[in-house]
Structure 1
Amino acid sequence: MLSYKIFFTMNFFQNFQSILLIIILLFSFVNCQNIPNPRYQQTSSLIGKRLYFFGGDLSTTDYNNDQAAYITNEVWYLDLSSSFNTATPPWNKDIGMPIGYNLGTSCVSPIDNSVFLVGGLMYIPNTATINFDSSPVYVFNSNISLWTTPNIIGFNSSFKMRNGIQPVIDNYGKIYAYSGSNSTYSNASIEVYDDMSILDTTSMAWSTLTKSSNTPPILLSYTATLLPTGIIVYIGGYKITIAGSFGILKSVSMYEIYTFNTKNYTWSTKVADGASIGSRVGHSAVLTQNGDIVIYGGTIWNDTTTVATPYIAKLDTSSWMWSIPNLSQRDSPQLCFHSAALYGDYMIIAFGQIPSMSSTSYSALSTNLYILDIKSYTWVASFNPNQSTANQSSPNKSSTNQLNNGLFIGIGIGAGIILMGVFSFVGFLLYKRQNQDPKSIQTPGTTDQI
């Protein structure tokens, strides 16, 4: 009987170690699943020390955006208050949006840090077919994770479903949105617009400016960057010369820079010069502290599978001269319809489509995170909020197809809690039994005897 008790005790602890190892592996698996699905056409905004990502298209085959089930209402964010490695970003999921959302823009109010979703396509979630939401603007309060629809005075109804635009917000809380189309990719009738709409978020009053003689052509899929001087700089994209019915698309030359003065509401055109920069769509732009606009990524305007070159370029907004940073273009990740934000000297790039891996019937999507130190123009492998540069490394080459398994997380955590409860209970019984029977003493080299 003594040998049996000793054998049982040793077997229990051996099994306990094995099962504990399984739990550790299970929790490691669960932890690595807490990441977003690959996506593109999402929008992002930096709110304090959190970088938020809203919506996006999860489908690799739905080029027409006519399957609502693939347009997500998810909200994810990265906490930039602590250091992390780009291979394992600290993803956090916030409350979802009331609508599925893509091809739009999020603007952060400088007054109260509210996020305004302006333009883009808004889908009623959990529907098999396309059902567009009628609300023109949604507002997100990140402090309490609350979505609301504001009452807007004088809203221009033609702005509904306006996409292919990039609104910007100034220091007074005014949002400026130029041009765009109402294309849903599957509708037969498409309208394009050459107007400037302004939403004053302090009074929730909407206005549409009258077209002037120097208003630029209709622009789509461009980038818009607000300078400290109050000038909005529009770079790249498509242009259409006739308003109303959808006309012939042409690329916008990277040396043809349209600007809008938010102080006197006037347009002008700057003629840029410098390095050879190819036209593009689906690119991003960030403004550095010294007034340079850094553009990243994109494809040639009429083929989303061919990358634009060079992949990274810099525009000096004082001289309107283009230059190409001394950075290996070969090692640069290739993305379009991605997100980019500047935090200190870090340009943080996430998600998007991978042109070189896509085809006319398939879009290769990314869930990776890349960080470019724009001070030294090097890719870094780790984020450190307390320093401008980190250890240099090649971009993260992890798989672009990751799973966001909320179900697995729930099952994994639940199973782990149950197993730990069982172990605690069995351990307690064993401990109690051992203390009640002083003859049960563990000895080395015990054989299986009764």
Structure 2
Amino acid sequence: MPEHFGAGTAVYGKSKNSIFFFGGDIGALQDQNSLVYTLDTTQLLSGWQDIQVPQNTVDRRLLLSVTADNNDRIFLFGGGGGGKFGDTKYIRYNTMNIFNIITQVWSFGTIDNTLIKREGHTATFLPDTGEIIYVGGRSDNGLLIDMTNLDVYDTINDKWVKRLTQNSPQQRCLHTAVLTNDKRIILFGGVNGRIPVENYYVVLDVKTFVWYHGNENLSTKAPYRGHTATLYNDYMFIAFGQGQSNDDLHIYKIKDYANFTEVNNYNVIIEIDPKIRNNIIIGTVTGSTIVIGFIGFMIFKYIMSKLKIGKRPPSLIIDIP
């Protein structure tokens, strides 16, 4: 796989063990080669697989959103790029491209002319309703997009609707979003113009569409753009990102509303079914516990050895197109 900047990814499959990778800048935004890759994490030795895309089916672009539903369909929305061959102007999109992983067929979602062209936004799929909520980003005129009225795409009925929110936060782009088990969308980071947003941590309750604002002070090392956010149980892991040179891993214990606690490590708890435990010889259990504890200690020691003290990101950052 060639080097990419600004590509979009999504996990899919029943067990969410496969990765869909689309677009990004490889030095030529009109290049249709190496446009889509997939990776089956259960067969890592096979590596990334290049999916051939028919000519003029979908444009290469970056800073778009890529989201998967529960039926192996991938939804690509927005982003910016170079358009078709011969175009000389950088353009932003409000196009919805849909790719069916099973049939390998591309299609278009309903085109709504009221949709703002955007890049650097987030997309969150709600499995209970089949909706995708789009938040933030930068529009075609270079302005940040209002976060009071959100665009929502109904993947079941192929239609767009607006959702009015209350207590909306500062506008932003290049942030991340994760969905909690109790139906909250947590936004982390982002930029307003060329500087970091004032509140890195804001939360949207999708049951009431009310925003909540975090009050805790984040680590001065926390990245604010170009990072990744991963939710596991009640912990959010923030990694990588632009604006500083470090490989710190930031872990946040998620609480109610917009409350959270930054922690130094994450402890994996291994639970054994009582029915199984009663049938295991005590010596075997003891030996297994020692082995698991030793492995866990070595993993923890390795992670801690990799952490470095980061610097506060500069107030100015590199412009995006």
TM-score (norm 1): 0.55
Higher strand share: 2
Aligned residue for 1:159, secondary structure, equals: coil
| Displacement of 1:223 | 0.5
CA distance in 1, matches of 2:79, 2:211: 26
| Displacement of 1:227 | 0.8
State which of 248, 257, 264 in structure 1 corresponds to 2:150: 257
2:105 corresponds to 1:105: no
Whichever of the two has the greater Rg, that structure is 1
Pairwise mapping of residues 66-77 of structure 1 onto structure 2 (< 5 A)? Answer: none
Contact 2:130 2:156 in 1 (8 A): yes
User: 1:398 maps to which residue?
Assistant: 309
User: 1:382 maps to which residue?
Assistant: 265
CA distance in 2, matches of 1:131, 1:254: 31
Pairwise mapping of residues 423-438 of structure 1 onto structure 2 (< 5 A)? Answer: none
The one-letter amino acid of 2:102's match is T
Aligned residue for 2:48, secondary structure, equals: strand
State which of 274, 294, 317 in structure 1 corresponds to 2:186: 294
2:230 corresponds to 1:350: no
2:62 corresponds to 1:163: yes
* Alpha-carbon displacement from aligned partner over 1:279-306 (angstroms, at most 9, x marks no partner): 1111111100010001011110x21xx1
State which of 227, 249, 256 in structure 1 corresponds to 2:126: 227
CA distance in 2, matches of 1:161, 1:264: 27
2:174 corresponds to 1:282: yes
CA distance in 2, matches of 1:271, 1:332: 34
CA distance in 1, matches of 2:9, 2:223: 23
Aligned residue for 2:231, secondary structure, equals: strand
Identity across the alignment (%): 27
CA distance in 2, matches of 1:334, 1:261: 32
| Displacement of 1:399 | 3.9
User: 2:166 maps to which residue?
Assistant: 273
* Alpha-carbon displacement from aligned partner over 1:207-245 (angstroms, at most 9, x marks no partner): 1234235x51111110100012111000111122xxxxx
User: How many corresponding residue pairs?
Assistant: 266
C-alpha distance 279-158 of structure 1, shift in aligned 2 (>3 A) = farther
2:63 corresponds to 1:120: no
| Displacement of 1:102 | 2.0
| Displacement of 1:331 | 5.5
CA distance in 2, matches of 1:136, 1:232: 23
| Displacement of 1:151 | 3.9
Contact 1:277 1:309 in 2 (8 A): no
Higher helix share: 1
What do you get for the CA RMSD once the two structures are aligned? 2.7
CA distance in 2, matches of 1:326, 1:267: 33
CA distance in 1, matches of 2:223, 2:34: 35
User: 2:103 maps to which residue?
Assistant: 203
Structure 2, unmatched stretches of 5+, are 271-306, 312-321
C-alpha distance 212-331 of structure 1, shift in aligned 2 (>3 A) = closer
| Displacement of 1:150 | 2.3
User: 1:245 maps to which residue?
Assistant: none
User: 1:434 maps to which residue?
Assistant: none
CA distance in 1, matches of 2:142, 2:98: 26
Contact 1:156 1:206 in 2 (8 A): no
C-alpha distance 323-131 of structure 1, shift in aligned 2 (>3 A) = closer
User: 2:286 maps to which residue?
Assistant: none
User: 1:371 maps to which residue?
Assistant: 251
C-alpha distance 141-123 of structure 1, shift in aligned 2 (>3 A) = farther
| Displacement of 1:329 | 4.6
| Displacement of 1:160 | 3.4
User: 2:217 maps to which residue?
Assistant: 328
* Alpha-carbon displacement from aligned partner over 1:93-130 (angstroms, at most 9, x marks no partner): xxxxx211220122122246221101222469xxxxx9
User: 1:212 maps to which residue?
Assistant: 112
CA distance in 2, matches of 1:108, 1:157: 25
* Alpha-carbon displacement from aligned partner over 1:249-270 (angstroms, at most 9, x marks no partner): 2211121211000000110111
The one-letter amino acid of 1:107's match is A
The one-letter amino acid of 2:11's match is V
* Alpha-carbon displacement from aligned partner over 1:138-194 (angstroms, at most 9, x marks no partner): 111222322211245xx462633211211100110000011222159xx94223322
Structure 1, unmatched stretches of 5+, are 1-97, 125-129, 241-247, 355-363, 388-395, 401-450
The one-letter amino acid of 1:231's match is E
User: 2:81 maps to which residue?
Assistant: 182
Contact 1:292 1:317 in 2 (8 A): yes
CA distance in 1, matches of 2:69, 2:32: 27
Aligned residue for 2:241, secondary structure, equals: coil
Pairwise mapping of residues 310-325 of structure 1 onto structure 2 (< 5 A)? Answer: 310-325=199-214
Higher relative contact order (CA 8 A, sep 6+): 1
User: 1:337 maps to which residue?
Assistant: 226
State which of 128, 135, 141 in structure 1 corresponds to 2:40: 141
Contact 1:134 1:160 in 2 (8 A): no
Aligned residue for 1:100, secondary structure, equals: coil
Contact 1:350 1:369 in 2 (8 A): yes
CA distance in 1, matches of 2:4, 2:94: 23
CA distance in 2, matches of 1:286, 1:135: 28
